[in-house]
Structure 1
Amino acid sequence: MKSTIANPSPHPRGSAGPADYEHRSPRFALRAATAEAHARLDGMFSTFNLANKSDYVAFLRAQAPAFLAVEAALDAAAAERVIQGWESRRRSADLLSDLATLAAPAPSPCPLPIFSTDAAVLGAAYVLEGSRLGGAMLVRAVGPGFPTAFLTPGNPADWRAFISLLDERLSSEASLADAVSAALVVFAMFEQCARSQSGAAQP
């Protein structure tokens, strides 16, 4: 089922918005504008002991609802028009494969967001592509014999090409604002779905 998700402000109180980062390249502006949300999410996922099977399963299941939804939403937004090699960057099948290998049922995806501009596509993809970089570090902590298709690092050249695309396509304040807003939606989805999956959702 597809539904819209309310976009958090691209520059909530106490944080900076795109205009505050106009002297930086778009990639660094996007990173700075989402740093608080990124750190909060990292803190949530850092509590899992990936060398322990039950924790590793819980980690993957906490990732799955948001990841599957965001990737499907990017497909629906024709991300392949915007991001070269999009099909090879997709990892939903890897995540589902790892869960199946661990005999763990996959949770249902979150409601799909809608990314209506190319800049929003890039902002959402920024979160997923950045998670691949994080996975390159996390995979070292995974217990021996556990499947790691989802966390397996990609080609570093793909990341370099992607951030170059950010600098090229997010050069205006409006496009950067769209990208920041979409990225914050995605971070919020991961946080909300992870809390819900763990039974720790806040009122």
Structure 2
Amino acid sequence: MTAAPDARSALRAATTPDHERVDAAFGAFDLTTREGYAAFLLGQAHAFLPIEAAIVAADPRDLLPDWPARRRGERLREDLSALGFPAPPTGDWAPFRHRADILGAIYVLEGSRLGGRMLARSVPADLPRSFIDTSDSVRWRYLIEVLDKLLVTDDQHTLAIDAARRAFALFEAGALRQKRTKAFG
């Protein structure tokens, strides 16, 4: 009998195809131009803002005490405003019913923070980067510890994975929406 994978491994393995689709969708944006970067941020906002709002409504501080410091929605709105674009409406994200699905969604948002570090290198220095240039490996490691401590059953893994997949799907839809507007630089 083999041991069940830890939460991070289970999430990563189950959502790799979702993650790859999102990376491919956002990879079409030219971050070296103002227009392409703005389109990228708008695509991010269509997913990030409703997911973060739902997490805030669930108040995950009992799971992740540093959650308020992890929030980046306002940074995203500020970067869009500096580029001359209003943030899209927050939209709806189904309320969370379990601690595990909150953590699955946070896993995706925090993973996007890690990816932002590499993407920020492509963005010209004169453009606002406070949303994507906020990587924090210490906080990522702490999140992984929390996931592994609180998500220990197969049912918890399933709930977290389902929430992460829904989050990835919303990010992919946000990117595709911006591509359809032909405003991706």
Fold conserved between structures, TM > 0.5:
yes
Correspondence list, 1:180-191, <5 A: 180-191=161-172
Identity of aligned residues (%): 41
Segments of 5+ residues of structure 1 without an aligned counterpart are: 1-20
CA-CA distance at 1:109 after TM superposition: 2.4
Contact 1:69 1:113 in 2 (8 A): no
On the 8 A contact 2:40/2:178 being kept in 1, the answer is no
Report the Cα offset of residue 198 of structure 1: 3.2
Unaligned runs of 5+ in 2: none
Query: For the residues of structure 2 that align with 1:102 and 1:22, how far apart are their CA atoms?
Result: 49
**Structure 1 or 2: more helix by fraction:** 2
Distance 1:110 1:46 in 2: 24
CA–CA separation in structure 2 for the residues paired with 1:123 and 1:166: 9
Q: Secondary structure at the match of 2:32?
A: coil
State yes or no: 1:164 paired with 2:145: yes
Give the TM-score normalised by the residue count of structure 2: 0.92
Task: Work out the number of aligned pairs and report it.
Answer: 180
Alignment correspondent of 1:52: 33
Whole-angstrom distance in 1 between the partners of 2:17 and 2:88: 27
Match for residue 106 of structure 1?
A: 87
Partner amino acid, structure 2, of 1:57: A
RMSD: 1.5
Q: Does the aligned pair in 2 maintain the 1:136–1:153 contact within 8 Å?
A: yes
Name the SS for the 2:131 alignment partner: coil
Counterparts of 1:154 and 1:144, CA distance in 2: 17
The amino acid that maps onto 1:41 is: V
Structure scoring higher RCO (CA < 8 A, sep ≥ 6) equals 2
Alignment of 1:127 onto 2:108: yes
Instruction: Provide the residue aligned with 1:4 in structure 2.
Output: none
